[in-house]
Amino acid sequence: MAAVTRDLVHETLELALRIQTVPAPTFAEERRSELVFGLFREAGLQEVRRDAVGSVTGIRPGTANGPAVMVSAHLDTVFGSDTDLHSTREADKIAGPGIGDNSLGVAGLVALLWMLDGAGLRLPCDLILAANVREEGLGDLQGMRALIRHYSARLKAVVVLEGTRLGRITFQGVGSRRYRVAVRTAGGHSWADFGRRSAVHELVGLAHELCALPVPRSPKTTYNIGVIQGGTSINSIAAEASLLLDLRSEDPGELERLDRTVRKIVHRHRNDEAEVTVELVGDRPAGSLEPGHPLVRAAMAAAEAAGVESRVEAASTDANAALAADVPAVCVGLTRGGHVHTTQEYILIPPLASGLRQLAALVVESALLEPDATARKATNTTGG
């Protein structure tokens, strides 16, 4: 494998910054998709294509036929198209919205090709590179789900690449349910119609109950109200209000329990004057590999070889879609950073060399895995 030089790190960072300047809100990733389509073509990939939802794939042929390895990174960000994408650079840090999640991850796909080509290394199987859409928020892993449906019969392993997860190896996908809870009432004037039910008041009461729910620390189980909206004006009794609720758990049984409890709370708040509805807007499946799975061992070995201190961490990533479809998958990162999903997001430059070495080693080891070794694939624990 070619050495990870300062020039390679510099070129990877420059490409990440180029990608970061192109807006890519979930469901509106077209411009970034077009950029990556061109990058894949320039890098010499074959069968470069954009699928129906906008994900971009290309293939680096191997020396033999047989199951392939896919390396993916999501294109989309949590930031709207009107977000100022200005970035700043210091000696050891780059800051800017989406730089680590996931502009650097996408740049890592191309950097992987540079490393393989620089070493003159052809893998024993095809390498499928995928820059997928709709990972964040209400995207509900739609991009990765479509890729897995298209390629699953050809895959023996999937490596999901994130920009700022260096040292964290994920092979247990955290399941999640996402709901829009809406309240509708007759509304009215705040003075003349005082006493009528307000959709905002009803929703706030419901939210208060949700925020008091007890959940176990182990298996880790969480809830979050991410958005509340509604009402017309300060002097109007609100006729409509809604919230977006995110439920997660490492354990599918706990997720089901929390889901049932939430539905009971919603039901209690229904009455003759307030219509309360709950709509499922996201359902990320769970899934996992055994700690001794060959792909997990390969990820651990790659981290050790690159001098990266690693730990296992359950998370909700694009790997969920592969694991739920019984395709072995792990998620790894390229560097460390912080303030993810804020406009102050940043990545650290010094660890990137180790992250690139880990990525190259993991992909090579994954390509060497015998299909029979990965035949005992994921434990599908998809929720309802």
Could you tell me if 163 and 307 lie in one domain?
A: yes
Could you tell me if 60 and 108 lie in one domain?
A: yes
CATH code for the domain in which residue 245 is found: 3.30.70.360
Could you tell me if 305 and 236 lie in one domain?
A: no
| Domain count along the chain | 2
Confidence (pLDDT) at 382: 43
CATH code for the domain in which residue 95 is found: 3.40.630.10
Could you tell me if 309 and 275 lie in one domain?
A: no
Last residue of a domain, one of 266, 283, 300: 283
Domain annotation covers residue 323: yes
Could you tell me if 294 and 194 lie in one domain?
A: no
Could you tell me if 40 and 156 lie in one domain?
A: yes
Could you tell me if 107 and 249 lie in one domain?
A: no
Could you tell me if 69 and 164 lie in one domain?
A: yes
Confidence (pLDDT) at 370: 86
Rounded Cα gap, residues 287 and 296, in angstroms: 14
Domain annotation covers residue 217: yes
Last residue of a domain, one of 268, 283, 298: 283
Domain annotation covers residue 376: yes
Could you tell me if 156 and 31 lie in one domain?
A: yes
Q: What are phi and psi of 349, to 5 degrees?
A: -80, -45
Element at 242 (helix H, strand E): strand 240-249
Could you tell me if 323 and 277 lie in one domain?
A: no
Confidence (pLDDT) at 384: 34
Confidence (pLDDT) at 214: 96
Full residue range of the structural domain in which residue 255 is found = 175-283
Q: Can you say whether the dihedral through the CA atoms of 253, 259, 262, 266 is positive or negative? A: negative
* Amino acid letter, 340: V
Domain annotation covers residue 79: yes
Last residue of a domain, one of 248, 266, 283: 283
Could you tell me if 194 and 251 lie in one domain?
A: yes
Domain annotation covers residue 204: yes
Find the angle CA(112)-CA(41)-CA(114) to the nearest 5 degrees: 20
Rounded Cα gap, residues 312 and 335, in angstroms: 16
Domain annotation covers residue 1: no
Rounded Cα gap, residues 244 and 278, in angstroms: 10
* Alpha-carbon radius of gyration of the chain: 23
Could you tell me if 58 and 203 lie in one domain?
A: no
Q: Mean pLDDT of residues grouped by 10 in the chain (384 residues)?
A: 85 98 98 98 97 98 95 97 95 97 98 96 97 95 97 96 97 95 97 97 97 94 96 97 96 94 95 95 92 97 96 95 96 97 97 98 96 58 42
Domain annotation covers residue 51: yes
Domain annotation covers residue 182: yes
Confidence (pLDDT) at 364: 97
User: Is the overall model pTM greater than 0.85, yes or no?
Assistant: yes
